[in-house]
Structure 1
Amino acid sequence: MQGTVDGFAFGAVTPAASYLVACVGSALGLRCVVRSLSNRQSWKPGWLALGAATIGCGIWTMHFVAMVGFRIQGIPIDYDSRLTSLGLVVAIVMVGIGVFAVGYRGATPVTLTAAGILTGLAVVATHYTGMAALQLNGSLEYDSLTVAASVLIAVAAATAALWTAASYRGFPAALGASLLMGVALTGTHYTGMAALSVHLRGATDASYMTGMYGNASPASILLPMLIGPVVFLILAGVVVMFDPQLVLGDGDWSRANPRRRRGTAVVPQRPAHTPQTASLFEPRDQGVGRHTSPRGR
């Protein structure tokens, strides 16, 4: 018997919320990646790792926010915690491989395309791993052509987002890149859900459902799992917002010091003490703040 699948149990609330989460996570992660490219003095591994983890958390969180509105008429659903956690690990690792390649090999066409493909595949892997984590009294079946369409959407949109973020500077490019990544994530999810059909097995009476799954709703199962990644996204947002170069959107501080754009030589004054950097991943200048003895003058 075929089950009736409903991916919009709360109407437009879950698609809108999942798209917002996808855009926010992508925007934060892409800014971290661009930060590592635009400033050679920054601690590259730290920014790339933060970017990969943020984008991965955004991918995973987006999927399960959307799944809050997922229902199969007549049966309850549960989630395998190990496969659910595996989806998060897969997303971070696959995105990390791509962004580290861009960070260390440069934003060349080859590396940007490879990173876009890996990021798109991370979106696909997270989605279908999350779907494999479903526990229900039935089996999941997919239409192969629609699945292929979801893969193409993920790869194309993720690649376009990375190209936009790495090739252009300023707020419009950052906004456009995050919106494209939001399309990659939500487009993959809902196209993949359109490919889904559920074949129900055996009994579906109320006593069977209560005995196996209890009375828990998908929201009560998923929302506690979302707390950790959402908190991480908030902390990543704090790091990004309090980093001056990310706020200005220009790694060489050209907006902060317009004289550099005119070619005027600027001789920085040496402070009397070591300045406290505003970035968690900024290396400190060990030579600053050392006093010269009057006898050596």
Structure 2
Amino acid sequence: MGGMHHLSYGWLTPVLSYVMACVGAALGLRCTVRALASEGQARRNWLLSAAVAIGSGIWTMHFVAMLGFAVPGTAIRYDVPLTVLSLVVAVVVVGAGTFVVGHARSRTRSLLMGGLGTGLGVAAMHYIGMAALRLHGEISYSPLIVGLSVLIAVVAATAALWAALTVHSTAGATVASLVMGLAVSSMHYTGMAAATVHPTPSGAALPGATATEFIFPLTVVLGSFLFLTSAFVALSPTAQQRREAEAAMRRLHDVEARGITMTGP
């Protein structure tokens, strides 16, 4: 792999990146389940939330992992517009997948198309993010391993969606999130294994921003967004709970109305 290092900070970046992938997946899958229990505008809003959660979770995972990436003999910079584009592409492509899940009539078709969309979103984000790298040298890719990384992303994303939509217990949701997190992480490191760096040492200044200047602050912002939104979604009532609460209120009003009628003049 051309002298690349992925553990510049030890196991901190792989473990933290996996946690971020799982948090994004947990939030996104939860929003997808909520969407299927809702209708109209509420369904659309939940699906949009799912796309943003999974897309930003994928992006955060990738660039937290990239904080530990180093190539001896060259500094590394990131092209800012391409890096931002990788985030937008992840959200848009995953969004297409989640909307298929939310609106398709056939469950099998929705799972396959949703898994394909989400998996391709993971892969597109990764390789656009890699295209944003600026270093002294060239990066080449093994087509076979690139294909394998995309396949891993699609298969595992489909499995995670299936688990989220089939198993409605907390344990099922947790397993689905861990599977999705594993999908994103496995795809990332398989994709990195596909890359070979051919460094050409140079004293010239590299264009772009350093990880500390750009990647780290944006990662902290997105990570905070994911954790806070996860807490909000976890604490907000589901559609079923709202219906039960409304039914209980109606029963209470009926009892009060009968009580008033019975004690009336």
Give the alignment's TM-score, normalised by structure 2: 0.87
Deviation readout 1:218-238 (Å, 9 max, x if unpaired): 345420221332232133223
Paired position in structure 1 for 2:225: 232
SS of equivalent to 2:121: helix
> Which residue is equivalent to 2:240?
252
What's 1:278 paired with?
none
The residue aligned with 1:269 is: 251
How far apart are residue 196 of structure 1 and its match?
A: 1.1
Structure 1 letter corresponding to 2:12:
V
Contact 2:28-2:51 at 8 Å conserved across structures: yes
Amino acid in structure 1 at the alignment position of 2:88: V
Q: What code does the residue aligned with 2:118 have? A: T
Equivalent in the alignment of 1:14: 13
Please tell me whether the aligned partners of residues 134 and 207 of structure 2 are also in contact (alpha carbons under 8 angstroms). Answer: no
Q: Unpaired runs of 5+ in structure 2? A: 255-265
Shift of 1:128: 0.5
Q: Which residue of 2 aligns with 1:158?
A: 157
How many residues align? The count is 252
**Deviations 1:246-273 (Å, cap 9, x if unpaired)?**
xxxxx5349x78xxxxxxx97833669x
Offset at 1:151? 0.9
- What's the CA shift for 1:241? 2.3
Conservation of the 8 A alpha-carbon contact between 2:7 and 2:69: yes
- CA-to-partner distance for each residue in 1:28-56, whole Å, 9 max, x for gaps? 11101101112448811111111111110
Query: Match for residue 211 of structure 2?
Result: 218
**Deviation readout 1:264-283 (Å, 9 max, x if unpaired):** x97833669xxxxxxxxxxx
Rounded to whole Å, the distance in 2 between the matches of 1:19 and 1:234 is 14
Partners of 2:206 and 2:104 lie apart in 1 by 52
CA displacement at 1:107 relative to structure 2: 6.4
Cα separation, 2, equivalents of 1:3 and 1:61: 25
Match of 2:196, SS? strand
Q: How many Å separate the matches in 1 of 2:73 and 2:189?
A: 21
Structure 2 CA distance, aligned partners of 1:183 and 1:43? 30
Conserved in 1, the CA contact under 8 Å of 2:143 and 2:194? yes
The separation in 2 between residues aligned to 1:151 and 1:97, in whole angstroms, is: 17
The structural deviation recorded for 1:239 is 2.3
Q: Which amino acid aligns with 2:30?
A: R
Alpha-carbon deviations, 1:190-233, whole Å to 9, x = none? 011111111123x43xxx15x4469x863454202213322321
Q: 1:135-159: per-residue Cα shift (whole Å, max 9, x none)?
A: 1111111112211111111011000
Within a 5 Å distance, the mapping from 1:1-297 to structure 2 comes to 3-40=2-39, 43-106=42-105, 108-201=107-200, 203-204=201-202, 208=203, 211-212=205-206, 218-245=211-238, 251-253=239-241, 268-269=250-251
Aligned partner letter, 2:130 = M
SS class of match (2:250): coil
CA offsets per residue over residues 108-161 of structure 1, 9 Å max, x none?
101111110110010000000000000111111111221111111101100000
Identity within the alignment, %: 44
Amino acid of the structure 1 residue aligned with 2:251: Q
Instruction: Give the 3 Å change call, closer, same or farther, for CA 21–56 of structure 1 in structure 2.
Output: same
Q: Which runs of 5+ in 1 are unaligned?
A: 246-250, 258-264, 273-297
Amino acid at match of 2:162: W
Tell me the distance in 2 between the aligned counterparts of 1:70 and 1:228: 21
Partners of 2:233 and 2:153 lie apart in 1 by 26
Q: Deviations over 1:137-192 (max 9, x none)?
A: 11111112211111111011000000111112010110111011111100000011
1:3–1:73 Cα contact (<8 Å) kept? no
Instruction: Tell me, yes or no, if the aligned pair for 1:107 and 1:166 is still in contact at 8 Å.
Output: no
Residues 187 and 107 from structure 1, CA distance in 2 versus in 1: closer, same or farther, beyond 3 angstroms? farther
Partner SS, residue 99 of structure 1: helix
Larger deviation: 138-147 or 222-231?
Answer: 222-231
Q: Aligned pair in 2 of structure 1 residues 177, 42: CA closer, same or farther (>3 Å)? A: farther
CA distance in 1 between partners of 2:59 and 2:143 (Å) = 23
